[in-house]
Structure 1
């Protein structure tokens, strides 16, 4: 079930069986029949299954799927939960390719429902029939006008278009679908429900290969199969189809709600976001932003370095827009002399031709001037997209502005982002919708969508220039066997043999050996317990820093043994690690790898202390990473200026950190499947040219992790 499946017969079936067909008003079977028979343009065979009826209307009813004259491609299951399993067994025995289970009352209800879902998966395993759902509203193929759904809204939401929607829940999915009321059509919508078999990832993968889908919008409550998801979004990227995602479950409240809703596994919000960004998926924060951003991608694709122009007839609105654009990190385009000269021909003499452009109200009743000024800005070679906010509804005047935007958009490939700011919708708003411009409802929302659009253009350019390596989680087979890394000295030896710098150290099994090691290394020294059973040495009282002389070391020896024995009574102590102190003036960072349940090995880097523990200032990537990835990770840190050098401090050796990140990536990749966790904390960073030192190291074998 983890591979890909050809879903063409699911989205475009030749024959359909409706199990639980009904003409009872308000029933699931009744709505599903209406959608298929009255509101779809389906021309294949439609079989109605109802053992208590001979016919519904003029359509014959069959007592069972087994009694049908031919095997349907798709069976819609619209019976009570108590009858679902029998229906699925019957469909599987008949050889049905796909079963869509509308019915709820399974995994989302508790252990009994989860046991039934396990039985569903067993049906899939033995028969090869794929199951969609349960607890789902079904599937809508708007581009083929086919409703495999019981939603009474199907007949109302039929504007075809280039956006594919893949969700788990139905309510927000329908919300996305109904965004077509603003002028951009939706081609496909799949709502996977509890995902007992087919998942959102399967639908993303299908849409990536569908010729009538150009942009994929997805709403994720959880990722059940990380490998499948990675393959799906990589497929979409290879087909140059943007994926825009809203991930629910980023807070503890949201995670609990998502799990109770569809029995999904929400996963770590930080890892999810890092994975989406690395794969080029455009992550958004709200349903409005998901709609706006997907619609913008449906209209145009960004280049690698898009700049923005603002055109409107209100000076305050122009200034507000410029402020928001700057705050979002976008760049206003500098208009060319030719553009400025063209604008001067059509603007009143008191208007300053610049970006942002306030045309003033003087030209609002001059259609030719409206068109000419907007056209000149949109066609400027430095302009990648135009923001056109309309702050008020002003009857025929505003309608004329909207019609001008629509006319110019038909003439230019530069997207014009129209913003209808007033709560009073008028003829101008309707004109924008009719023109397919998907008017956004605030400058802030528009700027967010534009920021996502511009970011993806930059990501696309980098991905084209240097293709990303395949994620470690997708590679078959395992790597080299892992040596014994059960203690800090063994872990550091492993790191050192692969080119990573560690402090000079000795393992002392007696007090005399400890004293000799300290004299050899030079006072002061660090003393740390050596024990495979003590992973977090400081918590157990197993660390002493800055030990200055022999007397202090003797006391430290006794104290560490006593404290560790009290904290971890079962621990076997193999002695103390005596280590040279790091040079003064360094900056402490953290480098770690852990195995995420959904996506596999993830590498993290952050500044030590408060930056990681309180501010959560950490950058993450799936393994493996390149040197450019490592540099980008460091630049993403809010504390990056500290590494660059602030308040007169010398810049740190940033390249040495980046090389260490790559070395860790290469090391874990070489031992693929054998390393559960690896942490270098702290990684001491000196000034430029001084390099780095792994002051502490913890490695945990796969299988040994708690």
Structure 2
């Protein structure tokens, strides 16, 4: 198991032996009253529950204490349900008493404007000085369903008490409770942490806890914003190291969603592309809506994906079987070829007109024979050539469907291979209820079921390929322009000299201050050459006629000087001009790619790699990774591009020097890490890649550095 310095020891918070409820109330609809009801009537508390209210001596037949200081023992957790104006005083009292954890249900802090933000900052100062941890504020509480403990004011708590192997970590309460209510579909959620404003404890801390919690098998998270990228990465690393899938729904992928998420949580939403790239890199299974999240989590909770990926389909409707087979094919998955003994059993048991090859179409004629269904479904389920069985149910058919549900439950008990019943009808009958009671959580369409299977399969491949691998170094995210620092664009020559000092191969280049010097430099290099404007004020040179390529002799160099200078002075009359950069031209042929690096405000440096030159904006064939790269990352980045078949050699062209390209990506990663405190942005575009053995060379370089004032 891996342990991160960001991980709190949350066991006393999640399963406390002693709890104090500050603000306990006899008003049934108040926060203090609802929390008291959940604790007394619907929870099992291992030890003492102390009620604190200075205006009461007794509540619900229990003694009421005037303060935390007056309690006979120090609680593990103090739940604070007093108005916002009184929270700081209670926090100071808890800090003085040595209470290790506060659960602050009260709203009116960072989400409520400048005054609330100041109060929230003071709350953090109190906690930090005492070594006390804070959960919240502005949160619905913490629900440990596996221990039947609800430190929450939600009136839904007593209705959502199905234990299970899924752990849920969210920031918002509404969407979190929505997932909790998926228990109605047969999904058991053992722990729900909804962290609210995250003044201290964050979603990342609960992911980290669940990564090693023995009662949690699958981790689900809904994220509106990410306050601490390295903290989240440490948690995801721990989950990957312990073989636990993390399924994430990240809100804020569009500009509209980002604005809404920021107004709700005051957290950074980050770039959707970068968030998704980091999730992929760390094996996080990203989904797009709640249904996908629930379907996928349920499948992982049922079974981890086996090495055998092929799918079996068992159905009593020919059209439904064909629809499901189509969905398998369009999902990039494959149908299993049944073993001979499976085909023999199906042939001997099913009618002559039934389809016994995958997909199996039993026809409706056998639906009245439960024993026959169990025998044939059991044969498919135990076939060694498949990893799961889809059992689409197209319609609710009364007693027949009830019998089928019983049969699916019985067949599942005889096989570890998961059966995935798909309930396609809008009519939910007794058969659906039986499947839910059996823990199946049937997806409600073939498409949704196949999305879950696809993600399940892909994560299994990732895991078998080594997963995340060794722990990677991370650097703290940093804002683009800290106070007291200045941002400077290096000249192209400066950028290339810096790259060359790091061992990155480049073509010969030099800056000429005069027309005559330009010609001498070009003569010395040998033709053809490229001429580019050398100016700190011109980044996109070709846009203003600042580049000439294919210059074949000295006379053309002089003409290029005149043309470039005239064009730049016309378009950028105020630009400072150092002269022309004369550079040896890359060999003919090859491919133009690009390598870019930016500093993400949440996660730090991220590399973007893909098709370059004039095509990068047009086709957007790119892939991304958080730095630093491992060799496996560089290899994967090259192969993820849609244009990768072109690099392999197409229509008689020789294969590109992919090995050199991978070395370049690793060298750029090393360069960025060596300059991680100062490098803000980097753009190598185009990068020329020749045929095998010819190498990979950046032809243009833009580097933006932070410099102390």
TM-score (norm 1): 0.93
Q: How far, CA to CA, are the matches of 1:704 and 1:328 in structure 2?
A: 52
* Paired residue total: 696
Distance change >3 Å, CA 348–CA 633, structure 1 → 2: same
Q: Output aligned runs, 1:373-522, within 5 Å.
A: 373-463=376-466, 467-473=469-475, 486-522=490-526
Show the 5 A alignment for 1:92-241: 92-241=95-244
Query: Matches of residues 546-585 of structure 1 in structure 2 within 5 Å?
Result: 546-547=550-551, 550=554, 553-554=557-558, 556-557=560-561, 560-561=564-565, 572-585=576-589
Partner of 1:545: 549
SS at match of 1:103: coil
2:368 is aligned with 1:371: no
- Give CA-to-partner distance per residue, 1:104-158, whole Å, 9 cap, x none: 2222233332222222221222111111111110100001110000000101110
Kindly indicate whether the alpha-carbon contact (under 8 Å) linking 1:49 and 1:62 is maintained by their aligned counterparts in 2.
yes
* Corresponding residue to 1:613 among 605, 611, 617: 617
Match of 1:21 in 2: 24
SS of structure 1 residue aligned to 2:220: strand
Is 2:190–2:215's contact at 8 Å kept on the other side of the alignment? yes
Q: What is the CA deviation profile of residues 16-57 of structure 1, one whole-angstrom value per residue up to 9, with x for unaligned ones?
A: 121211111311111000001111111422222222222223
User: Matched residue of 2:466: which SS?
Assistant: helix
Checking the alignment, whether the CA contact within 8 Å between 1:302 and 1:457 is kept in structure 2 is yes
Shift of 1:568: 6.8
Match of residue 480 from structure 1: none
Aligned to 1:349: 352
* Contact kept in structure 2, 1:472 and 1:601, CA below 8 Å: no
| Cα distance in structure 2, aligned partners of 1:485 and 1:502 | 19
Tell me, yes or no, if the aligned pair for 1:595 and 1:601 is still in contact at 8 Å: yes
Structure 1 residue 381 displacement after superposition: 1.1
For structure 1, the 5+ residue unaligned runs are 476-483
Tell me, in whole angstroms, the C-alpha distance in 2 between the residues paired with 1:569 and 1:21: 72
Q: Which residue of 1 aligns with 2:79?
A: 76
Shift of 1:547: 4.3
- Maintained 8 Å contact 1:606/1:619: yes
Instruction: Answer yes or no: is the 8 Å Cα contact 2:145–2:162 preserved in 1.
Output: yes
Query: Which of 630, 633, 648 is equivalent to 1:629?
Result: 633
Work out whether 1:641 is the aligned partner of 2:639. no
The 3-state SS of whatever aligns with 2:475 is helix
Measured against aligned partners, the alpha-carbon deviations of 1:49-107 in whole angstroms (never above 9, x if no partner) come to 22222222312222222232222111111122222222222222221111111122222
Residue correspondence of structure 1 range 210-359 to structure 2 within 5 A: 210-359=213-362
Aligned runs of 1:644-655 on 2, under 5 Å? 644-646=648-650, 649-655=653-659
Q: C-alpha separation between the residues in 2 aligned to 1:392 and 1:609?
A: 54
**Change beyond 3 A, Cα 1:544–1:82:** farther
Is the contact between residue 16 and residue 46 of structure 2 (CA under 8 Å) also seen in structure 1?
no
More deviation, 396-405/13-22: 13-22
**Compared CA separation, residues 140 and 566, structure 1 to 2 (3 A):** farther
Q: Give the superposition deviation at 1:433.
A: 0.9
Distance 1:573-1:41 versus aligned 2 partners, 3 A rule = same
> 2 CA distance for matches of 1:562 and 1:61?
86
Query: What secondary structure does 1:463 align onto?
Result: coil
> Counterpart of 2:682?
678
**Alpha-carbon deviation of 1:631?**
2.4
Aligned to 1:439, the other structure's residue is in SS state: coil
| CA distance in structure 2 between the partners assigned to 1:565 and 1:94 by the alignment | 72
Check 1:7–1:645 CA distance in 2 against 1; reply closer, same or farther (3 A cut): same
| Larger mean Cα displacement after TM superposition, 183-192 or 98-107 | 98-107
Equivalent residues of 1:303, 1:458 under 8 A apart? no
In the superposition, relative to structure 1, how do residues 268 and 62 fare at CA in structure 2: closer, same or farther (>3 Å)? same
- CA offsets per residue over residues 587-638 of structure 1, 9 Å max, x none? 2111122222222222211102564314432101122223332222122222
Give the distance between the partners of 2:110 and 2:650, measured in 1 at CA: 54
Once the two structures are overlaid, the 10-residue window that deviates more, 494-503 or 558-567, is 558-567
| SS at structure 2 position matched to 1:652 | coil
Give the SS at the match of 2:416: coil
When residues 616 and 109 of structure 1 are mapped into structure 2, their CA distance, relative to the original with a 3 A threshold, is farther
Distance across 1 between alignment mates of 2:67 and 2:89: 11
1:555–1:110 CA distance, 2 compared to 1 (3 A)? farther
Q: Deviations over 1:659-679 (max 9, x none)?
A: 211222233334444433332
What is the CA–CA distance in structure 1 between the aligned matches of 2:547 and 2:132, rounded to whole Å?
Answer: 59
Q: Which stretch of structure 1 is more off in the superposition, 543-552 or 247-256?
A: 543-552
* Partner-residue secondary structure (3-state), 1:472: coil
Match of 1:696 among 692, 697, 700: 700
**C-alpha RMSD of the superposition:** 2.4
Task: Report the CA distance between 1:348 and its aligned residue.
Answer: 0.8
Q: Is the 8 A contact 1:311 1:386 kept in 2?
A: yes
- Which residue in 1 is equivalent to 2:481? none
1:536 Cα shift? 4.1
Q: 1:19 to 1:562 in 2, by over 3 A?
A: farther
CA–CA separation in structure 2 for the residues paired with 1:463 and 1:150: 43
The offset of 1:242, in angstroms, is: 1.1
Q: Structure 2 regions of 5+ residues with no counterpart?
A: 478-487
C-alpha distance in structure 2 between counterparts of 1:431 and 1:62, whole Å: 48
When residues 441 and 201 of structure 1 are mapped into structure 2, their CA distance, relative to the original with a 3 A threshold, is: same
Whether 2:599 is the aligned partner of 1:595: answer yes
User: Alpha-carbon deviation of 1:228?
Assistant: 0.9
Structure 2: distance between partners of 1:100 and 1:535: 52
Cross-structure match for 1:9: 12
Given the alignment of the two structures, is residue 48 of structure 1 paired with residue 51 of structure 2, yes or no? yes
User: How many angstroms does 1:577 deviate by?
Assistant: 1.0
